[in-house]
Amino acid sequence: MNKLIKNLTVAAAISIAIIGVYTPVTASANGGSWQRDSVGWWYKNSNGSYPKNDWQRIDGKWYYFDGRGYIIHSKWEYINGHWYYFNTSGHMLSNQWVGDYYVGKDGDMLKNAVTPDNYVVGSDGKWDKRFSRELAEKARLYLNPTGSNISKRTTAELFSQSHKTNYDTVIALMDVLYPNYNYVNNAKLSAKTLMEAIDVKHCGDRHDCVFSKNMLIDHLVYNKFTKEEAEKAINELGSEIDLPKYFQDQAITYLKRLHKYKLSNNQYLSRAAYEDNLILYRKFTKEEAKKALDTIKIDYIYQAQQEAKKLLLKETGDSRRNIIYLLVHGGKFTKEEAEKGVDLLNHDFKVNLRRAIEYHCIESDYNKDKGYVWYPWHSKQHLIEVLSDPNGIEGFERSDVEEVIEEYNINYTERAKLRAMDILKNGKYSRSNLEKTLIDQWKFTKEEATNAVKDLKHENLID
């Protein structure tokens, strides 16, 4: 304030020099008359009274009288929150410059504004020489965030692009012209515009045309509002809209549309997968997601059944256990849903077991192009254990494995011979010890082991 007063004093001195000294006439058309004493000029009304601490219009000009009743003259005066300039005759100036300051049509000094002759004045009312008259004129006509649904940054970007002006200069100009403007209002209008746009009549059944509170905030931030502005805007909307109900309805609508979309694309999701979509991808709260999932009735056993059906159509060698594992750990179905879903298919997993044997255990049409077999040297007993190990890769029922393995004409003696050759790579063996290793460790029958070893020739055989 002190700096402003000092600047205004300088401006007043310049103005006095320009305007010159003038004294009021003693008579007035108002019926009153000007009076002067040793202190200064005052005005006597026709009824004998005189104004104090008040404005009075006399002969078409405005004057201000101090507490003693004398006119203010030849200086700036701060009255009721505004600065006014009174010339040497004491009347208020308007619509003109006083030094580097401009007084408007009502006489008060303009601040944070573009003057009628296109100059920018700042918060102290002084001409801000950073901005050209050309830019000031464009700003007066086109740079106004009031009533808009776009952010400060976007407003500045659009203006700078349209008028080929430096972005930082535009931001600085906006800070001068609208120092206290609340862009939360713009963010609120932007949010309302979006909320109207995602109404069903505009979006139909699009599941991606739904917004949670957090996504709405993200949308505003994406459109270059600050996060604080976005959050305040949504909170203020709460006084106009029942936001908890609105966003809960959005969650329900999203789940309903997403489920319909997934079914149309032959995709069957678990409750947990839908919950992930609601919380992780659309950013609904856990409470909103839970209520939506409880509201929209979905048969998750049926969903698991259909996903299992898709897995089985791939004609893999997966066991019932593995299909259930994929549903639980990949699809996030509960174990109960997965088991019931699989069992509803009444699938014969011996078919898959045969594929597993033909894929991994013997040379067949399924693996001839791959050039390898997973278990080429396994005995019958070892194959049964590998295929039925509940903690192993395959996980078939042991009784099924024991039954189905008999369907294949596998030469286990030849396998025992291959295993023996592999054993001999790592050390010297007598035939009896080699035979014992094949039986005890690799579970070949005595007959298979004996026949494999009896005619075997190898440098590590010691008898």
Looking at the chain, the whole-number percentage of residues with pLDDT higher than 90 is: 83
Q: Do 100 and 144 fall into the same domain?
A: no
Q: Do 193 and 91 fall into the same domain?
A: no
For residue 463, the domain's CATH number is 1.10.10
The half-sphere exposure of 68 on its side-chain side, counting CA atoms within 13 A, is 9
Residue 172 lies in a domain: yes
Q: Which amino acid is at 407?
A: E
Q: Is residue 104 predicted with pLDDT exceeding 90? A: yes
Among the residue ranges 104-108, 198-202, 405-409, 445-449, the one predicted with the least confidence is 198-202
pLDDT band at 463 (very low <50, low <70, confident <90, very high): confident
Residue 426 lies in a domain: yes
Q: Do 138 and 44 fall into the same domain?
A: no
Q: Do 8 and 95 fall into the same domain?
A: yes
Taking only the tens place, the pLDDT of each residue in 308-347 is 999 999 877 899 999 999 999 999 999 999 999 999 999 9
Q: Map 383-424 to HEC letters.
A: HHHHHHCCCCCCCCCHHHHHHHHHHCCCCHHHHHHHHHHHHH
Distances (CA, A) of 161 to 154, 174, 434: 10, 15, 86
Taking the C-alpha atoms of residue 193 and residue 331, their distance in angstroms, rounded to an integer, is 37
Residue 360 lies in a domain: no
Mean per-residue pLDDT over the chain, rounded: 91
| Segment 418-431 mean pLDDT | 94
Beta bridge partners of residue 101, listed in sequence order: 98, 126
Task: Count other Cβ atoms within 10 Å, centred on residue 308.
Answer: 27
Structure tokens at 21: 């000294």
Q: Do 149 and 194 fall into the same domain?
A: yes
| Segment 417-444 mean pLDDT | 95
Q: What is the pLDDT of residue 209?
A: 80
Q: Do 140 and 204 fall into the same domain?
A: yes
Cβ density class 72-111: b for 16+ within 10 Å, e for less: bbbbbeeeeeebbbbbbbbbbbeeebbbbbbbbeebbbbb
Structural domain range at position 195:
133-244
Residue 175 lies in a domain: yes
Count of structural domains within the chain: 3
Residue 263 lies in a domain: no
Q: What is the pLDDT of residue 67?
A: 96
Where do we find the tokens 């999932």?
293
Q: Is 425 exposed, middle or buried (0-12, 13-18, 19+ CB in 10 A)?
A: exposed
Beta-carbon contacts of residue 401 (< 8 Å; ≥ 6 apart): 353, 383, 384, 387, 388
Last residue of a domain, one of 199, 228, 244: 244
Where do we find the tokens 């005005």?
43
Last residue of a domain, one of 196, 214, 244: 244
Q: What is the pLDDT of residue 207?
A: 72
Q: What is the pLDDT of residue 394?
A: 93
- Higher per-residue pLDDT: 369 or 90: 90
Q: Is residue 364 predicted with pLDDT exceeding 80? A: no
Q: Do 150 and 55 fall into the same domain?
A: no
Q: Is residue 19 predicted with pLDDT exceeding 50? A: no
Q: Which amino acid is at 32?
A: G
Q: What is the pLDDT of residue 16?
A: 46
Among the residue ranges 146-160, 181-195, 356-370, the one predicted with the least confidence is 356-370
pLDDT band at 18 (very low <50, low <70, confident <90, very high): very low
Last residue of a domain, one of 57, 86, 104: 104
Taking the C-alpha atoms of residue 162 and residue 286, their distance in angstroms, rounded to an integer, is 45
Taking the C-alpha atoms of residue 206 and residue 227, their distance in angstroms, rounded to an integer, is 27
3-state class (DSSP) for residue 170 = helix
Q: What is the pLDDT of residue 20?
A: 42
Taking only the tens place, the pLDDT of each residue in 260-274 is 999 999 999 999 999
| Segment 52-60 mean pLDDT | 96
Helix 167-177 × helix 152-162 angle, to 10°: 120
Q: What is the pTM of this model?
A: 0.78
Taking only the tens place, the pLDDT of each residue in 245-301 is 999 999 999 999 999 999 999 999 999 999 999 999 999 999 999 999 999 999 999
Q: Is residue 233 predicted with pLDDT exceeding 60? A: yes
Cβ density class 322-356: b for 16+ within 10 Å, e for less: bbbebbbeebbbbeebbbbbbeeeeeebeebbbbb
For residue 11, the domain's CATH number is 2.10.270.10
Contact predicate 54/47, CB 8 Å: no
Q: Is residue 12 predicted with pLDDT exceeding 60? A: no
Taking the C-alpha atoms of residue 221 and residue 117, their distance in angstroms, rounded to an integer, is 37
Contact predicate 292/254, CB 8 Å: yes
Beta bridge partners of residue 114, listed in sequence order: 120
Residue 367 lies in a domain: no
Residue 381 lies in a domain: no
Residue 117 lies in a domain: no
Beta bridge partners of residue 27, listed in sequence order: 33
| Segment 51-80 mean pLDDT | 97
